[in-house]
């Protein structure tokens, strides 16, 4: 196709690609093209600069003219002799399942682009966001109370899973080569090329939040300062540098303060956390929230302030955005999802609902690589001294004479009791766990060694007063709790 060249736009795009190392000539680029001036300009620029491109278009079927827009993009792709992939989805039906129409359409669009990229061996999706989109995004974040992460706006390049929470089979980046071009640049570029962009009438509808910013707020701000857009873009550059600087210090502090405990939770080292500057505290909380709730678009400054303030109290759980909560865990604080029952890797935990049978000799597997074993040993005076000193914690030794051939290993049930040495009668297992400061969140799945209805051992905590080793004992049964090879001990009593 013969095209009129616009060196200014081509140069801007080439400089942006090089400055932010968006992609290389070796990798095919999937471009989301709607048919508007921005995405058509992006398609032309990348083609002109020598990149191998694949155009992907999602027809949302939200408007009667959507099929005509798809046909136009197909026609332009044929003129450029580049691949065109179309998918039709009834987004209106999906939005009825919950969430705004805008958000539903956005997620559908990026899921589609990610799928096309993976199917065609591409490691990058390019979209036509411009400097004007950046200005609008930053104002939206400002009005929602975002901190530096929000005020940096859209990044020129980001990992798909980090930005939108879409998991992909391989590494997939989202690039914005037009982020330093204006909307006026793309409109003029299309005019010079003889392209006729399709205008989406929904872009004029001020019922949408972004459109109100575009058509009402920005023109008003320009009456105060005609250069307000450039000021906001400079703010974006400053905040991006600030976030990058913060990242260095967060990376240094993170390992000593945040410990991942399972897929759905972090343990926070409160003492070390409180020693940090309040700003760093909020940045750490923000990163942890983002890690557990990657689809959460905005984490407000107010939410991180509430989290930091809550840690100065002894209150009950604190709800946070993204279906998360903070709650005390012994001397630490846990950030976790509300819905999930977390099995804490640093503690022995039963797999939910499991009930195991342990023979002597034998072994059973608990959650996260923990194990309980049983073995038979001949009594030896020196060995007996070692077993006695360890008894009740990771090792519990019993007289073999009356020991059952099989134990049940299960989690605690209401009414479970244990007889303790030097204590008259029996004690509730629940009270024993409280007295031994077993973190509340771990108690429901903590394993018990049971014979009939009798609790013989609370592994890692206390053995019962049953079947004590006596002078005449010739053989002993040794129960042992084995931690996984690598385990992060979070206030572990073991």
> pLDDT tens for residues 363-399?
999 988 899 999 998 877 666 666 655 545 788 989 9
Residue with the bigger pLDDT between 240 and 390: it is 240
Q: What is the DSSP annotation of 330-375?
A: TTEEEEEESSS----TTS--PPTT--EEEESSEEEE-GGG-EEEEE
Q: Give the integer Cα–Cα distance in Å for 465 and 2.
A: 92
pLDDT value, residue 488: 45
d(CA 300, CA 146): 5
φ/ψ of 358, rounded to 5, equals -120, 120
Taking alpha carbons only, the member of 366, 359, 319 closest to residue 338 is 319
Q: Taking a C-beta distance cutoff of 8 angstroms, is the pair 482, 348 a contact?
A: no
With 0-12 / 13-18 / 19 or more C-beta atoms within 10 angstroms meaning exposed / middle / buried, residue 121 is exposed
Whether residue 445 contacts residue 350, with contact meaning beta carbons closer than 8 Å, is answered with yes
More confident residue, 239 or 340: 239
Contact 490/259 with Cβ under 8 angstroms? yes
**Secondary-structure percent of the chain, ordered helix, strand, coil, rounded to 5:** 40, 20, 40
Distance CA 93, CA 97 (A): 8
Q: What residues have CB less than 8 Å from 1, skipping those under 6 apart? A: 79, 80, 81
pLDDT reported for residue 317: 85
pLDDT one-digit tens code per residue, 29-59: 999 999 999 999 999 999 999 999 999 999 9
Determine phi and psi for 278, rounding to 5 degrees: -55, -35
pLDDT for 130 equals 98
Q: What does the pLDDT look like over 179-198, one tens digit per residue?
A: 999 999 999 999 999 999 99
Question: What is the structure's pLDDT at 421?
Answer: 78
Strands 475-482 and 371-378: antiparallel
For residue 45, give the nearest of 243, 206, 179, 221 by alpha carbon. 179
Q: Where are the domains of the chain?
A: 7-224, 234-337, 356-482
Note the pLDDT tens digit of each residue in 91-125: 765 444 455 677 778 888 999 999 999 999 999 99
Contact assessment for residue 182 and residue 132, using Cβ atoms and an 8 Å cutoff: yes
Report how far residue 251's alpha carbon sits from residue 271's, in angstroms, rounded to the nearest whole number.
18
Round the average pLDDT of the chain to a whole number and report it: 87
Per DSSP, the residues of 143-192 read HHT--HHHHT-S-SEEEHHHHH----SS--EEE-TTTTS-HHHHHHHHHH
The CB density around residue 189, as the number of other CB atoms within 10 Å, is 26
Q: What integer pLDDT is reported at residue 151 of this predicted model? A: 92
**Average pLDDT, stretch 7-21?**
94
Choosing among 3.90.226.10, 1.20.59.20, 1.10.569.10, 1.10.8.60, the CATH entry for 234-337 is: 1.20.59.20
Predicted confidence at residue 361, as pLDDT, reads 92
Q: Does 3.40.50.620 match the CATH number of domain 7-224?
A: yes
Q: Is 467 left (phi over 0), alpha (psi -120 to 50) or beta?
A: left
pLDDT at 253: 94
Domain 356-482 has CATH 3.50.40.10: yes
> Would you say 345 and 488 are in contact if contact means Cβ atoms under 8 Å apart?
yes
Q: How confident is the model at residue 472 (pLDDT cuts 50, 70, 90)?
A: confident
CA-nearest of 178, 173, 203 to 189 is 178
Q: Average pLDDT for residues 262-291, to the nearest whole number?
A: 90
């Amino acid at each position: 196709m013969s095209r009129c060249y616009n060196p200014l736009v081509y140069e801007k795009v080439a400089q942006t690609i090089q400055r932010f190392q968006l992609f290389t000539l070796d990798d095919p680029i999937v471009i989301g093209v709607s048919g508007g001036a921005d995405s058509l300009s992006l398609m032309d620029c990348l083609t002109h600069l020598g990149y191998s491109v694949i155009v992907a278009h999602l027809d949302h079927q939200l408007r009667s003219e959507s099929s005509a827009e798809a046909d136009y993009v197909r026609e332009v792709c044929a003129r450029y002799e580049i691949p065109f992939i179309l998918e039709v989805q009834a987004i209106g039906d999906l939005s009825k399942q919950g969430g705004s129409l805008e958000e539903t359409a956005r997620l559908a669009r990026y899921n589609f682009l990610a799928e096309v990229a993976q199917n065609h061996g591409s490691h990058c999706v390019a979209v036509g966001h411009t400097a004007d989109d950046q200005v609008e995004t930053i104002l939206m974040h400002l009005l929602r109370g975002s901190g530096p992460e929000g005020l940096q706006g859209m990044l020129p390049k980001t990992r798909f899973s980090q930005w939108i929470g879409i998991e992909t089979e391989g590494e997939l980046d989202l690039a914005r080569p037009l982020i330093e071009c204006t909307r006026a640049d793309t409109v003029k570029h299309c005019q010079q090329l003889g392209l006729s962009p399709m205008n989406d009438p929904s872009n004029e509808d001020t019922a949408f939040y972004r459109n109100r910013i575009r058509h009402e707020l920005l023109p008003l701000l320009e009456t105060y300062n005609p250069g307000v857009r450039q000021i906001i873009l400079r703010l974006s550059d400053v905040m991006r540098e600030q976030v990058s600087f913060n990242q260095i210090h967060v990376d240094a502090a993170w390992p000593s303060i945040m410990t991942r405990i399972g897929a759905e939770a972090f343990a926070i080292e409160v003492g070390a956390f409180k020693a940090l500057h309040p700003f760093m505290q909020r940045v750490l909380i923000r990163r942890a929230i983002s890690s557990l709730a990657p689809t959460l678009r905005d984490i407000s400054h107010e939410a991180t302030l509430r989290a930091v303030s809550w840690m100065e109290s002894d209150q009950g759980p604190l709800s946070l955005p993204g279906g998360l909560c903070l709650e005390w865990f012994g001397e630490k604080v846990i950030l976790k999802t509300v819905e999930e029952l977390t099995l804490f890797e640093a503690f022995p935990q039963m797999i939910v609902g499991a009930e195991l049978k342990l023979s002597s000799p034998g072994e059973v597997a608990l959650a996260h690589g923990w194990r309980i074993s049983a073995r038979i040993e001949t009594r030896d005076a020196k060995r007996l001294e070692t077993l006695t000193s360890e008894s009740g914690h990771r090792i519990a030794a019993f007289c073999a004479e009356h020991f059952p051939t099989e134990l049940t290993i299960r989690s605690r049930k209401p009414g479970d009791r244990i007889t303790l040495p030097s204590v008259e009668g029996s004690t509730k297992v629940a009270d024993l766990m409280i007295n031994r400061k077993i973190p509340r969140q771990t108690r429901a799945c903590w394993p018990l060694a049971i014979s009939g209805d009798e609790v013989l051992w609370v592994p890692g905590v206390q053995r019962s007063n049953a079947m004590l080793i006596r002078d005449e004992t010739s053989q002993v049964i040794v129960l042992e709790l084995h931690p996984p090879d690598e385990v992060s001990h979070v206030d572990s009593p073991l």
